[in-house]
Structure 1
Amino acid sequence: MTVYLIAEVKITDEAWIPDYVAHVHEIAARHNGRFLSRSGNVETIEGPPSEGTVISLLEFPSREDVLAFADDPEYAPYGAARRQGSICHYRLIDDTDLAGAIPYLVGPAAT
């Protein structure tokens, strides 16, 4: 089942960014992940504005692939640097439709 990692990052110290940008997409790719967006062009059209400086959207074939990426020892120093120089919210969603009304999405997950 396809899953999406949504990373909302409020940068507090930019020192970590060059190394992170240069290496992390390759590590994600080794775990079958790909960036769909990594943008600072965040526009709020409803609700309170986000505090995020950058929002990234990554697609992975499975939850296990995301966890393997997050737990990859090669990713560890980049993740630690990101956490040191930012406030982050990482969220994982799947491709289900909670209401079960959109035919091209998977119906509600069985409980």
Structure 2
Amino acid sequence: MAYYSVLDVTPSSEDWIPGYLPTANERVAAHGGKYLARTASHEQVEGDEQPAALRIIIEWPAKENAEAFMADEAYAPHLAARIAGSVSHHYMIEGKDDLA
């Protein structure tokens, strides 16, 4: 079953970004992921304001692919740099409709 990573990221420093992007792109693809959206063009239309510089959606073939990406040793230092250099939230969402 498909899984989705939904992230909001607001950099507090941009030092990590040039090294992060090539590795993240490579490792997402290596684990079967596909970026559906990675943009600063977004707007919130409901609820209490939750500002973010970027909104990112990645589609994974299965939860195991997303978990393998997050545990990837080649990605680990870049993940640490993103966490240290931004305010980030990452949600893993199963691609199903529990209310159908």
| TM-score normalised by L of structure 2 | 0.94
| 8 Å Cα contact 1:8/1:90 also seen in 2 | yes
1:61-98 CA distance string (max 9 Å, x none): 11000000000000001101000101111100011111
Q: Map 1:14-29 onto structure 2 (within 5 A).
A: 14-29=14-29
Match of 2:35 in 1: 35
Counterpart residue number, 2:62: 62
Deviations along 1:22-73, one digit per CA (max 9) or x if unpaired, are 2211101100001111111121112223221111100001100000000000
Q: Partner of 1:82: helix, strand, or coil? A: helix
Partner of 2:74: 74
Where does structure 2 lack aligned partners over 5 or more consecutive residues?
none
CA RMSD of aligned residues (A): 1.0
**Structure 2 residue 12 is the aligned partner of structure 1 residue 12:** yes
- Determine the C-alpha separation between the residues in 1 that align with 2:38 and 2:11: 13
Q: Give the corresponding residue for 1:109.
A: none
| Separation (CA, whole Å) in 2 of partners of 1:62 and 1:96 | 12
Runs of 4+ in structure 1 displaced over 4 angstroms?
none
Identity score, percent: 34
Partner of 2:93: 93
- Is the CA contact 1:69–1:75 (under 8 Å) kept in the aligned structure 2? yes
In structure 1, the partner of 2:52 is 52
Comparing 87-96 with 44-53, which one deviates more in the overlay? 44-53
Secondary structure class of the residue paired with 1:10: strand
SS of structure 1 residue aligned to 2:15: helix
**Matches of 2:29 and 2:22, distance apart in 1:** 13
What is the alpha-carbon distance in structure 2 between the residues aligned to residue 13 and residue 34 of structure 1?
Answer: 26
